[in-house]
Structures are given as structure tokens and as C-alpha cells.
Amino acid sequence: MTTHPTPPPECPAHSAGPLVSGQYRLHGPEAEADPMGLYERLRAEYGPVAPVLVSGDLPAWLVLGHRENLDVARTPSRFARDPRGWRDMLEGRVPADTPLGPMVSWVPVCNFTDGPAHERLRSAVVESLERFDKRGIRRYVTRFANQLVDVIAGDGHADLVTSFSDQLPMLVMTQLVGAPDEHGPRLVNAARDMLQGTETALQSDRYVTETLEQLVRERKVDPARDLATWLLEHPAELTDTEVLMHLRVVLIAAYETTANLIANTLRTVLTDQRFRASLSGGHMTLPDAIEQVLWNDPPINAVIGRWATQDTVLGGRQVKAGDMLLLGLAAANADPRIRPETETSFRGNRSHLAFSSGPHECPGQDIGRAIADTGIEVLLDRLPDVQLAVAEEELRWRGTLMSRHLLSLPVRFTPRAARPAPGVQPAQSAESPEAGWSADSAGAGRSADRAAVHVPAPPAAPPLTAAVPAPRRAAPATRGRLSTWWHRLLGRR
């Protein structure tokens, strides 16, 4: 289990205090500074299910046990996903401007429904996502990852959060949903702004919504091979509003979780000697490493929510009808009943709850894995001697109820020239994430590979003025390649 430094005595975290009327707050600086430490205190005091307070000091149950999380996630008859049954909301105790708004305000999406309505909406999402060719997605990730590395390769130093992990998922997902290339960098900034809850978060929210509304209008007239078109054409006959809402959910959820997964994996790679040794010795592949990170440091700590449909007992606690429950995904992964030794390797074991479980398990998790492991492979292959540029203790996170986002990951490496430009003009049309990359369209894929595109610089950096070439084809992550990279990182020859 990852440990985090305790805030210094003068830090405001100590003045807030986590306890109110004997219950622990899941919000505020202290809880957000060390969520895993708080989860373990709650587990020691209450067992697998603990009473807690969320924003506005509203009561909820945090489910800490692995078995209990599965029980809640897999039995919607007892624990519904529809927030309209929340007793505190029905009785007027939830303020209209609650920060929980996006997570407790019902909209017509599959993750807020159960039963036949959920089956109808989820089938449209799952079956549309399954239409993407997996090898094609990896080629697309390779293209954008190489472009992002080109921006920093000559500098010899970079922040891998702002210049890589925060950029790559949205650049890829923008293309998968069907939005034009130029929306990618703006959507990256807008999504980050929304999730941080800044003063401009509402403006960013409007930008995301308006961009997707425009996309839906365009795809009704001009269909393409992308998620927006496939949702519109699906036999489930989604309304325009339902298509818009699901595009939004897929885009934002994929961004936050995948950005965190990439950052958490890179941090582990650069700071954990045993992790390095396993990869260096060929005992662990990069996909194996990502699964281990999903156990130890999942991209989402807790999920709001479920609402009890009846009085029931969970983990020895009396839960009342209408009570809110939070799935404690990170706490469940560290449950000592299934994992008595937290340092034990879980290679090949996907029973972690990083993507939840049951009928609402994340439908796009394999796409997230593909973006993470392919993107990281490109980065490590291009910058084989990358090392952390600061002490591990200097790394800082932004905490929220749901996750901890690494703020920066400063690294240094030997400066390298960007890949030579192929001497062609920038591409004017978007690639098809399905047809252009499929095995029976290899010619079209190779043609697209040779096209150059304009790539925006990371936030706060001057914009690029020259075209950046499309990447070479990604090679498989072999033991020899990974072993070579790790020997260089460790100073071996």
C-alpha cells in the first residue's frame, strides 16, 4: 500500500479536523491529503462498512471491504444506482449548489439507471465501443504519444503530468468519439478545469457540452465511423440527449481515470526499486505492471454512489432505505481479508475493483488499458534513461472525494532530436479509428501513418508552429526491449 507524507504542523489540514459528531469527513484537506490513511483508520474502528460525512456534512456509508463492495455493486435490487431515491435529497437537506451535483443529479445515462432502462442504454455504449479495432486504437495512441514526446524530447527535462499523462487520453478519446483534431487540446484543458472545480469550471462545462452538441448535429447529417455515429445508429434508438450525455460520460470518465492511471504507473516506475527490478529482470511485462498499479494505486479511490432501496444489513451495519453508499475501490483493493500482505504481487490477477464490478463495471476499461500501456511503452522507448528529477517526497497531489491526481512528475533525460519530418503536408482529414486501421485496410492505415499533423504544445507552453510527423508503427512490448530499458534506467550495461 502506498504511503503519503503527513502534512506539516502548520498546514491547514490539521486545523480542519476530520471528525464531526463522532463521524469522519471524507472532504476537506486532511481527508484529501491521505485518503488511504483515513480508510485504514475507518476500517480499524468500524470494520468493512463505516459511517462517514460527504460534502456539506451529509451522512453516507463508505464500503471498505472487498466482499461488501462486490455485494453492493452486484445487487442493484438492494443498492440502486438511481440517485432519485436519496432520502436526504427527497427531504430537502441537499443544497442546490452542492459540489456533489454532477454525481447525484439524475440524467438519462446508463450509470444512473437500473433494470431494463440500464440494459438498453448500456448495450448501446458497450456494443458501440466494441466496434473499435483494438490494434487500431493502439496505433492511434502510438501516433499521439510520439507527437507528445517530440515536443519535449530536445529539452532533456519535462513534467510528465502536464506534457504527457494529462494530454494523451483526451487526444485519443476526442478522435474516438468523433470530434475534430482541433478540439483535443481545448477539451484537455476544459476537462481538467471542470474536475478541479475552478472559478471557470462552469464555462469549461459549457464548452464541453456545446462541442458535443455540435458533434451530434453533424453526425446526424454526415455519419462517420466513430462513437457518436454508432450511438445514433444503434438499435436501442437513443435520443439526441441520451447520445450527448453518453458521449460526455465516456469522454470525461476516460480522461480522468486514464490520466491518473498513466501518471500513477509512471510514478511507480520511477520510484519503486522492487517494481523496477521485476521489470528489469523480465519477471513482469508492462501490462502486468499496470494491473499491479490498479491494485495498489487505482485511478479512482471512491465512487458515489449507490442508494439503499430497503432497510438492510451490510458488513454488520444497519443501512436504512434511502441511505447513500460509496464504493471504496482503493480500500477494497487493500482489504486485509483478501490481501494480508500488501506487498504481494498480483500479477495476472484482475479481481481488483479499480473499475468497479457488476452491471455498472466500467465498459471502457480495455480502451483505458490500451491507452496507458501503449502510451507508456512509447515514452519509455523514446526516452530510455528518463529519471525522476526531484525527491519522491516532493511530489504533490490534488485530492478530491473520488481521486488523488498527481500534480506534477518532473523528470530528466538525455536530450534527443525529434523524429525527422517525412516532408509531406499536414493531414486535412481525420483518420477513421476503425476502418483506417483494421487488418483488412492496412493500406489506408499506412497511408495515414505517413501524414503529418499539427500538435499543440502542453498548457502554458508556446504553441508549435511546425508540423509534427505521424509516428512509426508501435512494436510489441518484448522482454528484450523492456529489459534493455530497465538496465539503462538502473545504470547497467
Q: What is the mean pLDDT of residues 234-244?
A: 96
Q: What does the pLDDT look like over 100-125, one tens digit per residue?
A: 887 888 988 999 999 999 999 999 99
Of the candidates 407, 402, 397, 406, the residue with the CA atom closest to the CA atom of residue 27: 402
440 pLDDT tier (thresholds 50, 70, 90): very low
DSSP E strands, 396-470: 397-399, 404-406, 410-412, 452-453, 468-469
- pLDDT score of 40: 95
Instruction: Answer whether residue 284 shows pLDDT above 50.
Output: yes
Residue 78 has pLDDT above 50, yes or no: yes
- What is the rounded distance in angstroms from the CA atom of residue 404 to the CA atom of residue 268? 15
Residue 195: which pLDDT band, with cuts at 50, 70 and 90? low
pLDDT reported for residue 446? 28
316/464: higher pLDDT: 316
More confident residue, 466 or 10: 10
CA distance 223 to 229: 6
* Beta carbons within 10 angstroms of residue 51's beta carbon: 17
pLDDT of 268 above 90: yes
What is the model's pLDDT at position 423?
43
**How far from 7 is each of 36, 44, 257, 394, CA to CA, in Å?**
14, 22, 26, 12
| pLDDT tens track for 49-73 | 999 999 889 999 999 999 999 999 9
Q: What is the pLDDT of residue 271?
A: 92
Rounded Cα distance, 142 and 224, in Å: 22
Cell of 254: 476516460
Neighbours of 268 (CB within 10 A): 18
> What was the pLDDT predicted at 285?
84
